[in-house]
């Protein structure tokens, strides 16, 4: 700080004390005084679904109207026209996400484009007769909505407020970050030590709070050197847009656990569904290269074949079924429905993505927070990945609003530690359960098959437990 500026600040501080203004208010006044185009309150690095939604949520928040917010996105801004063909990249959005997006006006935009409700879900094992079904008849709500990623992002962009305090910079990459207390030589952890974001065009932005929404390879997380748990499943998620036989009501999500990984068919419309087929990386490559007809045969076969059936698990399941039918008033078994037959695939819709688990031990530090895949990336078998990211958005927005109301520094470690605590309480159990399920079902060892089959059958017969599971997955 120059001598002249320092004298001015001391003078202001004395004036503030004289007028009985709190130090925080004084800092805000000082911030506004010092403000120039390179000094902002919040920088969100990464404008994917999660980062853009946070920008929208903060930009629309009345309490934050005095705060300057910048969203950085390395990709260029694309003009979006809803294509006739469905995209192969989709997400199952939970009721909690729909709630968040409704509050931001995003859900109305999605409804004006397209989405498909999921009213029933059937999950079954290829090694036994065990099956679990979920439907929300009792709870008056859809289980989820299947929405294309492009539609979600476009809907969020259309909902972004046109306020002067939100500046969105496309085609702009954050090259590196200087974070006080983390970057060597920048040790200050006081109110005056801000984060410096160095951009690809050579310019810099200083900010009180840096939010890393820059995906699974997050540079923000790497700069912070947060210890990160990683597990490579050696699997790929093969996606495609499927054409179904006939034009009938299509609102069931189907998932069959094969020893190589789950295969799922999620409804997009009455004639289209999306495929998410988890398999070995080798097999994914092979499936991508198959002719269209052979690929369609392979998909139908994966949902229908009984080559993996384990006779011991089937017998044990039959005995358990008899016992449960005797002791449970409604009976134990759900009616197994047959998935629709696939008759075609959209041209060039096959693509494969490597799958793995990634969990950052910390989601926050002094003046830094991570959201979305930058903090946690999970297997898509339960369709929870982006929903966890939207949960981060809701939590951080609420805490930042509280901070503004209380005059707290937006980048304070206490505030961001609270964010980390709240989110890890929700995210860690999901990460654990999904990783456990993925390992439990990637196995055809008879005792394991028996345990999981009997467990699934028992849970399926306990309606109260299924309702608890639905409620948990909805939040």
Is 355:379 a contact under the CB 8 Å cutoff?
Answer: yes
Cα gap 47→154, rounded to integer Å: 12
Cα gap 196→204, rounded to integer Å: 7
Binders in 28-57 for ligand FAD, by CB under 6 A: 45-51
Q: In the complex, what is the shortest distance from the CB of residue 422 to ligand FAD, in angstroms, rounded to a whole number? A: 18
Q: Does 262 bind ligand FAD (CB under 6 A)?
A: no
Considering only 34-42, 102-110, 209-217, 453-461, which stretch makes contact with ligand FAD by CB under 6 A?
Answer: 209-217
Cα gap 56→63, rounded to integer Å: 14
Considering only 8-16, 301-309, 386-394, 432-440, which stretch makes contact with ligand FAD by CB under 6 A?
Answer: 386-394
Q: Mark 268-287 with x for binding to ligand FAD (rule: CB under 6 A) and - for no binding.
A: --------x-----------
Considering only 10-18, 66-74, 255-263, 403-411, which stretch makes contact with ligand FAD by CB under 6 A?
Answer: 66-74
Q: In the complex, what is the shortest distance from the CB of residue 378 to ligand FAD, in angstroms, rounded to a whole number? A: 8
Of residues 363, 360, 393, the one with CA closest to residue 96: 393
Provide the b/e sequence for 87-123 (b: ≥16 CB within 10 Å): bbbbbbbbbbbbebbeebbbbebbeebebbebbbbbb
Return the number of the residue (370 or 410) whose C-beta is nearest ligand FAD. 370
Classify the C-alpha dihedral 18-21-24-29 as positive or negative.
negative
Give the position of tokens 């390879």: 217
Name the 3-class secondary structure at 34. helix
Q: Does 385 bind ligand FAD (CB under 6 A)?
A: yes
Cα gap 470→95, rounded to integer Å: 10
Cα gap 424→4, rounded to integer Å: 45
Q: In the complex, what is the shortest distance from the CB of residue 165 to ligand FAD, in angstroms, rounded to a whole number? A: 20
Return the number of the residue (9 or 251) whose C-beta is nearest ligand FAD. 251
Considering only 118-126, 182-190, 330-338, 382-390, which stretch makes contact with ligand FAD by CB under 6 A?
Answer: 382-390
Considering only 62-70, 212-220, 356-364, 419-427, which stretch makes contact with ligand FAD by CB under 6 A?
Answer: 212-220
Q: What are phi and psi of 299, to 5 degrees?
A: -65, -50
Return the number of the residue (320 or 358) whose C-beta is nearest ligand FAD. 358
Give the H/E segment covering residue 223: helix 219-224
Q: Which of 43, 70, 72, 284 binds ligand FAD (CB under 6 A)?
A: 72
Q: Does 391 bind ligand FAD (CB under 6 A)?
A: no
Query: Token pair of 98, please?
Result: 């729909």
For 298, which DSSP code?
H
Query: Token pair of 99, please?
Result: 């709630």
Q: Does 435 bind ligand FAD (CB under 6 A)?
A: no
Q: Does 173 bind ligand FAD (CB under 6 A)?
A: yes
Of residues 302, 301, 294, the one with CA closest to residue 350: 294
Q: Mark 233-252 with x for binding to ligand FAD (rule: CB under 6 A) and - for no binding.
A: ----x-x-------------
Binders in 178-197 for ligand FAD, by CB under 6 A: none
Q: Which of 384, 453, 461, 474 binds ligand FAD (CB under 6 A)?
A: 384
Q: Mark 332-371 with x for binding to ligand FAD (rule: CB under 6 A) and - for no binding.
A: ---------------------x------------------
Q: Does 380 bind ligand FAD (CB under 6 A)?
A: yes
Q: Does 267 bind ligand FAD (CB under 6 A)?
A: no
Binders in 126-155 for ligand FAD, by CB under 6 A: none
Q: What are phi and psi of 166, to 5 degrees?
A: -110, 120
Cα gap 15→24, rounded to integer Å: 14
Considering only 31-39, 210-218, 289-297, 439-447, which stretch makes contact with ligand FAD by CB under 6 A?
Answer: 210-218
Give the position of tokens 């998935």: 339
Q: Which of 213, 302, 403, 416 binds ligand FAD (CB under 6 A)?
A: 213
Provide the b/e sequence for 177-186 (b: ≥16 CB within 10 Å): bbbbbbeeee
Whole-number CA gyration radius for the chain: 25
Contact residues toward ligand FAD (CB under 6 A) are: 45-51, 72-75, 91-92, 173-174, 213-215, 219, 237, 239, 276, 353, 372-373, 380, 383-387, 389
């Amino acid at each position: 700080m120059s001598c002249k500026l320092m004298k001015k600040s001391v003078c202001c501080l004395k004036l503030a004390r004289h007028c009985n203004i709190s130090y925080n208010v004084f800092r805000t006044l000082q911030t506004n005084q010092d403000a120039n185009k390179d000094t902002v309150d919040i920088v969100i690095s990464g404008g994917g679904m999660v980062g853009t939604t946070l920008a929208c949520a903060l930009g629309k928040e009345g309490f934050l109207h005095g705060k300057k917010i910048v969203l950085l996105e390395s990709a260029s801004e694309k003009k979006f026209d809803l294509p006739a063909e469905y995209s192969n990249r989709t997400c199952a959005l939970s009721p909690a996400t729909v709630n968040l997006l409704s509050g931001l006006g995003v859900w109305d935009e999605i409804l004006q484009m397209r989405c498909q409700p999921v009213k029933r879900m059937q999950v079954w094992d290829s090694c036994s007769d065990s099956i679990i079904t979920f439907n929300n008849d009792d709870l008056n709500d859809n289980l989820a909505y299947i929405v294309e990623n492009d539609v979600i992002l476009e809907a969020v962009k259309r909902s972004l407020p046109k306020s002067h305090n939100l500046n969105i910079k496309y085609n702009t990459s954050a090259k590196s970050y200087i974070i006080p207390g983390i970057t060597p030589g920048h040790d200050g952890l006081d109110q005056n030590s801000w984060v410096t974001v160095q951009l690809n065009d050579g310019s810099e932005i200083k900010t009180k709070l840096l939010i890393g929404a820059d995906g699974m390879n997050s540079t923000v997380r790497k700069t912070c050197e947060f210890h990160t748990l990683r597990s490579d499943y050696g699997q790929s998620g093969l996606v495609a847009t499927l054409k179904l036989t006939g034009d009938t009501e299509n609102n069931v999500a189907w998932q069959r656990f094969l020893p190589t990984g789950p295969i799922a068919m999620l409804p997009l419309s009455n004639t289209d569904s999306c495929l998410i087929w988890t398999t070995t990386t080798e097999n994914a490559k092979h499936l991508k290269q198959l002719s269209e007809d052979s690929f369609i045969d392979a998909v139908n076969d994966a949902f229908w074949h009984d080559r993996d059936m384990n006779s011991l698990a089937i017998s044990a399941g039959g005995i358990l079924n008899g016992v449960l039918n005797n002791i449970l008033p409604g009976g134990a078994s759900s009616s197994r429905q047959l998935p629709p037959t696939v008759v075609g695939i959209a041209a060039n819709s096959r693509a494969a993505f490597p799958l793995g688990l990634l969990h950052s031990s910390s989601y926050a530090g002094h003046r830094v927070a991570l959201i979305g895949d930058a903090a946690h990336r999970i297997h898509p078998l339960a369709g929870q990945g982006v929903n966890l990211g939207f949960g981060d958005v809701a939590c951080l927005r609420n805490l930042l609003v509280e901070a503004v109301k209380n005059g707290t520094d937006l980048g304070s470690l206490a505030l961001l530690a609270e964010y980390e605590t709240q989110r890890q309480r929700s995210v860690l159990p999901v990460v654990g359960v999904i990783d456990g399920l993925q390992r439990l079902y990637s196995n055809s060892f008879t005792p394991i098959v028996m345990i999981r089959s009997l467990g699934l059958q028992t849970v399926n017969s306990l309606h109260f437990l299924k309702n608890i599971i639905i409620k948990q997955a909805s939040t």
